[in-house]
Amino acid sequence: MTFNVSCKMDAGIRMKVLRGGQLVDENNGVELDEDEFQHLIVMTSPQNPQWKWVAGLRLIFFAFLAVTLATVLFIVVKDYTQAQLTWLMQPVNKSQLLNLHHLQTNPPVGGNATSLDSSTSLDSCLIDDGWKFDCHPANVATADDCLNRGCCWKPLEVHNLPWCYYPLGFAYYVFTEFVPTKTGLRGSAVSTRASPYPKDVKNLNVDIIYETEDIVRIRITDAKNSRYEVPFEYSKTSYDKKPDILNYSVVTSRYGIQIFRSAEKTPVFDTTIAPMIYSNQYLEISTTLQTHYLYGIGESVDFLKRTTNGSRYVLYNHDRIPGSNTNNYGSHPFYMIMDKMGRSHGVFLANSNAMEITVQSAPSLTFRTLGGILDLRIFVGPKPRDVTDQYTQIIGRPMIPPYWSLGYHLCRFNYGTLNHTAEILQNNLQGGLPIDVQWNDLDYMHHSNDFTYDPVKFAGLPDFIDDIHSKGMRYVPLIDPGISSGEAKGKYIPYEMGVEMDIFIKNSQGHIFEGHVWNKKGTVWPDFSHPNVTHYWMRQLDSFRKRIKFDGAWIDMNEPSNFYNGEKNGCIKTSVLDNPPYVPRQIDGNTLYYKTICPSAKQAGGTHYDLHNLYGTQETIATYKALGDIVSERPFIISRATFPGQGRYGGHWTGDVVSNWEDLRQTIPQILTFGLFGIPMVGADICGFNGNATADLCKRWQQLGAFYPFARNHNTDDGIPQDPWSMGKDVFEAAKETLKVRYDLLPYIYSLFFRAHLSGRPVARALFFEFPKDVLTFGIDTQFMLGPGVMIVPILEENYTKNTIPAYLPKGFWYHHYYLNDVIESLGEVHDLQIPVHSIPILYQGGSIIVKQKGEQNTVLSRKNKFSIEAFLSSDDTADGEFFWDDGVSNLPKELVQYNQYSFKVSKNVLTMTTVFGGYDSSSMVLGDITVRGVRGSVTSAILNNVDFPFSFENKVLTLTNMTLQGPSGWTDGLTLVWS
């Protein structure tokens, strides 16, 4: 057993217990045995006759210490300011953090502390502001409230700092010695005092499981009683023994657990810094953070690099206009840390209860959740791509979307009629805009009821869908989870069948829970945790698809949203589920039932209190299974509410964003963050949803949105038409030009989704993800990468009229899409990039190889065109890439086999293409062009597959064109190009 404890003596001499039981006087570094330690306690006592002499020396010592601290403070402030200017963050220095070491060796057992107890001196409240952990996180605290909890009280004017905080050494639990098991370690934790929350769990089991060489799991559970746990199958691998090699080490003590990456001295996860609480409806655990470079935690409206100044992030799925400092549509208790050496790690808390995550400036992080268990996984990386790989091993790999879904989508709320829908679509098509999917919002329904369409306003909808199918396009309708409960008997089968199958959510009295959304009278909700709900949902979707041949599902309002606060008459005031002892401070509406279902409602899988955050993803799973059978093609589902695991079954759009410049900018960090969450199929409503976009805003949004992984134009019912054609020539030309580039890149983008499916890498990536050793990329969220090869530099300022825009380019060669002959050699600095007419700077990274295909008006047509291979050489004349291909629509079996994977490489004037996997018929695949950019010297010959081939060479560009290399004999069984 190892200890890491500091003891504060009356004489002010600090002692530390080191691992192995050695005691060290920190003032002189002398190791002491136990007898010497006890003698020192006597010698430094105020009752000792020699104390006055010691006290004099003490005054001199503290005077010297004050001068030293002032000097250190000056240096720290100076260095900190400089660090901020250069974006560099020093790792946490544990020796400077007093509260890493606990004072109490014998904490009191039982009962609420009524004051600072005898084992806690006033000095134990002298803690750096950044390391003050909130002892009273609720909205209102008084000095009496605080002191009654045994905590420190210090009112402050500084924003986001707690007034009531834990003293040094405060603990609610003590951990026992851990013993080895065949999968890791097992210990226990015993309550040593009552927390401020009801029903503390007195005895806990603590299991540390070495799941893989890079993933360690910490499960803290009630030793006597079972508690709710997230029902998803996170990681199906059976861990019956620990791995032979571990890339981490675990240190346990009576005050918590520390996880270290191998050969490192700073822990990636450390619970010893603050008390743990484990009551029935309030669980709290804290950890250090290695740096301030924190990412993840969502769904949040924030910068890509999360704010670490006391910010609170609330995770409780909720229908509202996306905003900061409150809860939004999804809940993702996962974060990633970067350090200045380019190393990364991640942490995931598998808990679906309402949650609050506080991040402090130390830096440190506190999880507060209102139920369930503490089930943590630490992913030690060490690269960002390793962390997302490890995370998606647990929550599930992202699905591969159907190819057509990567095209452009057109939608709005309240086209009003089918004729107007068709008119808007036709205007944009006639102008030459590529479009793959037409959508309809709520207004297509009859009385806003699911699985219906308006027989008057949308008469002829089946024929309209058949017509766009014949032209190679697809159709996606809105399908809300809420089912109308107010229709006449015998008139609405979805309700009556749900009652018969008993699959609707019940209230706490056991009656069907009734609220209200869009339906005229009332709304009930399917219980997507019910074992029979998938069968029910499939029958409704199947019946509807026999009437209209829709191709995917847009599932909205599934937080779930409710226009009532609970039922019509509210929720039960005396219920501890509807009104728990703690509610996250910044939750919208200040209650758990604001605009949603009462937490006390009953579901097959438990109470809505536990299952609320799962509702949208459980609906996605049911829809995915149903569409896979009904459509007999790869399902396409976009959901508003999400939870970890959503990416296995569907994508996400960022909801009702506002048509303004701030929301335009915010869509980038939101989309990049969802890539880290394992949901790469993500986008925002192009031009915004709420309000009216100006032509300038819509133009810039179209230019950016053309490169969202999910690209859809959509807006509200009371806004102006904002499809590209309706917004005017300038907007239309901008959309047309940027979508042309997107469609040319679709084979590359589709390959990125394959890579996401195989290893969890995002499609849209933050710069730090691709350049982890370049600290200057860590805070950039106004540019982004599509995979490793393409950089997007949008224009995010109103009335921007300059011909260039500054952008940071990491070290290496960069090729501008519109000025390809001018290679930019960057040393890792800001460059002014030329802005093309109607478009934005799009750059290719040197060292990339990208497969393209000339875009057409939709993907059915573009997939018939020849492929082209384009290599962009790096500073050392090399490049690599990969390319995946299949039919783009077939259902994917569990074992992915019907696809082709190709690997490309350029080295020493040789380009090679190798077939990595060949499970798809490639006979129709035709190669038309090969281009190599950045070739130095001269080229006098080009030999393709051992045959001299005509070529052109100009401005460092080698080009082979007008080829018709088809199928295995032409190129898909392998390709070699040699030039000299």
Q: 139 near 369, Cβ under 8 Å?
A: no
Q: 721 near 424, Cβ under 8 Å?
A: yes
Cα four-point dihedral sign 89, 90, 95, 100:
positive
- Output the DSSP codes for 783-849: SEEETTTEEE----STT---SEEEEEE-SEEEEETTEEEEEEEESSEEEEEEPPTTS--EEEETTEE
Residue 806's H or E segment, with its range, is strand 804-809
Backbone angles phi, psi at 621, to 5 degrees: -65, -45
| Token pair listed for 267 | 């822990």
DSSP 3-state percent helix, strand, coil across the chain (nearest 5) = 25, 25, 50
Provide the 8-state DSSP code for 654: -
Query: Whole-angstrom Cα distance, residue 888 to residue 835?
Result: 34
Q: Long-range pairs for 500-507 at CB < 8 Å and ≥24 separation?
A: 501/532, 501/535, 501/536, 502/532, 503/527, 503/530, 503/532, 503/533, 503/536, 505/597, 505/601, 505/602, 505/603, 505/608, 506/601, 506/602, 506/603, 507/567, 507/598, 507/600, 507/601, 507/602
Helix (H/G/I), strand (E/B), else coil: 219: strand
Q: 133 near 166, Cβ under 8 Å?
A: yes
Kindly list the catalytic residues: 556, 559
Which is nearest to 596 in space by CA: 634, 567, 569? 567
Query: Whole-angstrom Cα distance, residue 255 to residue 121?
Result: 19
Residue 476 half-sphere exposure toward CB, CA atoms < 13 A: 25
Which is nearest to 104 in space by CA: 8, 29, 231, 28? 8
Query: Whole-angstrom Cα distance, residue 199 to residue 277?
Result: 11
Q: 13 near 40, Cβ under 8 Å?
A: yes
Q: What's the Cα-to-Cα distance from 922 to each of 2, 634, 777, 883, 892, rounded to whole Å?
A: 61, 20, 40, 13, 18
| Token pair listed for 627 | 């569409």
Q: 768 near 777, Cβ under 8 Å?
A: yes
Number of residues that this document lists for the chain? 980
Q: Where are the alpha helices (DSSP H) in 87-205?
A: 143-148
How far the first Cα of the chain sits from its last, in Å, is 67
- Output the DSSP codes for 262-307: TT-SSEEEE-TTS--EEBSS-EEEEEE-SSS-EEEEES--S-SS--
Query: Whole-angstrom Cα distance, residue 236 to residue 175?
Result: 30
Query: Whole-angstrom Cα distance, residue 891 to residue 578?
Result: 42
Beta strand 926-933 with 867-872 is: parallel
Query: Whole-angstrom Cα distance, residue 761 to residue 753?
Result: 8
Query: Whole-angstrom Cα distance, residue 945 to residue 765?
Result: 35
Place of tokens 């630490």: 378
Which is nearest to 189 in space by CA: 373, 20, 21, 6? 373
Q: 687 near 702, Cβ under 8 Å?
A: yes
Which is nearest to 342 in space by CA: 770, 10, 874? 770
The C-alpha R_g of the chain, in whole angstroms, comes to: 31
Residue 389: count other Cβ atoms within 10 Å of its Cβ: 18
Q: What's the Cα-to-Cα distance from 693 to each of 706, 708, 716, 732, 826, rounded to whole Å?
A: 17, 19, 11, 14, 36
| Token pair listed for 681 | 């199929």
